[in-house]
Amino acid sequence: MVQLTFVQGDITEQSVDAIVNAANSSLLGGGGVDGAIHRKGGPEILAACRELRAGHYGSGLATGQAVATTAGRLPARWVIHTVGPVWQPDEDLSALLASCYRESLRVADELGARTVAFPAISTGVYGWPMDDGARIALETVRETPTAVEEARFVLFGTDAYETFTAHR
């Protein structure tokens, strides 16, 4: 069973096998976690994402899917990019949010990663309510069969940290 740990801090500073990036579908960088990972990881990540775009992911990565690249200059081996859904109060997209975590663990298993750092996917600019996002994230990671030994939730800010730890 995967061990869940919680850290308040910067995901780009985590020494883990894989860091999960809350990416946009273009895979070419953006704001929030995505922008921070691209900035700190350096041009190697963008170059790897451009190669993905030139190949199988020419039209971008679909919401709920995940794919890995190098971690560039980050203290991790890989970045697993996943596209979270944008919150829609009149539409239940929780299965897509759960898929982000499940697919990220699948990719981590394919890579042989044993430690994975997750952000609070979709809870920033994509507007997903933090409490619901935490519940979905933790339930999904707990219920997904994986060889990953530690799923580290790296949460930016006190509110996110307190919300996630309340769902332990």
Please give the positions annotated as active site: 34
CA nearest neighbour of 56 among 27, 31, 91 = 27
Gap between the Cα atoms of 84 and 112, Å rounded: 23
User: In the structure encoding, which two tokens stand for residue 139, read together?
Assistant: 């339930």
When computed from its CA atoms, the radius of gyration of the chain, rounded to whole angstroms, is: 14
How far is the C-alpha of 79 from the C-alpha of 82, rounded, in Å?
10
